[in-house]
């Protein structure tokens, strides 16, 4: 085969349009809020034990203030989790998968299917209760992996099958 390298006008390249993206399953937000609540309740336990050890029986009059601060941080964390979820999207195209996430610090990652090493579907106990799972797309670059945390199990299996089909089709004969 002769080597060919014709010029490509940049404005004619296929562009990636966030408007065609999709959101995660709505149950994913509930799973994240539950995970968030578990974290803050554990933190409350640690805070109470720490307070008891530090002040040895006294100073409980000020404890409501610490509780108030804890409640404030938890509310903020809940709000941030919701905002992040609202912004999180993904786009499945013929040849690649793109994931947008982050509320203040935004991140967009694209993985071409030709580079996918393997795809895994994982489901934790809380995710299982809500019928959702995580889809992990692995490449040869450890920093270039992509994870969609919060797809319905059926969607994840469909996306996995689609990517696997594309990856197999792209394998050199």
Partner 1 sequence: MSLPDRPDAHEFQHPTRQSAAALLLVFAQLFLNFIKQYWAFFLVILFRPASNRASFFGWVTLVLAAIVLVRSLVAFFTTSFRIEAGELILESGLLSRRKLSIPLERIQTVTFQQTFLHRLFRAVKIEIDTSGAQQKEFSLTALSMEKAQRLRAYLMAHRKEGEAAHTGQTDSRPEGQVLLRLDLDDLLKVGITQNHLRTTGILLGLGLGVFSELSQTLGKTFTNSLKDQWGYIYGHWTMLLLVFTAALVLLSFLVTLLRTVARYYGLEFVQSGQGFRLSAGLFTRHEQSISLPKVQMVKWSANPLQRKLGYYVLQIYQGGGLLAAAAASLKAPGCKAPQISAVLEGCFPQLNSEPWDPHPISSWYAQRRFLFLGLVPGVILVAAALLRESVNPLIFAAIWVPLTYFWQRQLQQSWSVQVNPTGIQLSYGFFTRYFRQSPWEKIQALTINQSPFQQRKGLCDVALHTASSTLEIPFVPLALAYRLRDYALWVVERRLGVETLRR
Residues at the site binding partner 1, with contacts judged by CB under 8 A? 1, 3-5, 7-8, 10, 13-16, 95-96, 102, 104-115, 117, 139-146, 170, 172
Residue whose C-alpha is closest to residue 18's, from 105, 111, 85, 91: 91
Residues 138-167, buried b or exposed e (16+ Cβ, 10 A)? bbeeeeeebebbbbbbebbeebbeebeebb
| Smallest distance, partner 1 to C-beta of residue 80, A | 13
84 contacts 101 by C-beta, under 8 angstroms: yes
25 vs 159 by CB, closer to partner 1: 159
- Smallest distance from partner 1 to CB 16, Å: 7
Q: How far is the CB of 26 from partner 1 (least distance, A)?
A: 26
Nearer to partner 1, 1 or 65 (CB): 1
Q: Token pair for residue 72?
A: 């404030």
User: Of 111, 106, 107, which is closest to residue 92 (Cα–Cα)?
Assistant: 111
Residue 22 Cβ vs partner 1, minimum distance, rounded to whole Å: 19
Structural element, H or E, at residue 34: helix 27-55
> Which is closer to partner 1, CB of 1 or CB of 54?
1
The least CB distance from residue 89 to partner 1, in Å, is: 14
For the sheet containing 116-122, what is the strand order? 116-122, 132-139, 146-152
Nearer residue to partner 1 within complex by CB, 3 or 54: 3
Q: What is the rounded CA–CA span in Å between residue 153 and residue 128?
A: 9
Nearer to partner 1, 48 or 110 (CB): 110
């Amino acid at each position: 085969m002769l080597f060919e390298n014709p010029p490509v006008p940049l404005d004619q390249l296929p562009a990636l349009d966030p408007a065609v993206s999709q959101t995660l399953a709505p149950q994913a937000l509930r799973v994240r809020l539950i995970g968030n609540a578990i974290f803050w309740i554990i933190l409350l336990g640690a805070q109470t034990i720490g307070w008891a050890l530090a002040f040895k029986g006294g100073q409980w009059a000020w404890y409501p203030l610490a509780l108030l601060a804890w409640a404030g941080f938890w509310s903020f964390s809940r709000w941030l989790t919701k905002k992040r979820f609202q912004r999180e999207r993904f786009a499945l195209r013929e040849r690649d998968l793109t994931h947008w996430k982050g509320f203040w610090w935004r991140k967009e990652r694209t993985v071409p299917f030709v580079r996918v090493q393997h795809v895994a579907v994982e489901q934790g106990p809380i995710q299982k209760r809500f019928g959702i799972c995580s889809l992990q797309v692995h490449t040869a670059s450890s920093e270039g992996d992509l994870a969609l945390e919060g797809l319905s199990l059926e969607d994840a299996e469909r996306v996995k099958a689609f990517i696997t089909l594309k990856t197999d089709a792209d394998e050199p004969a």
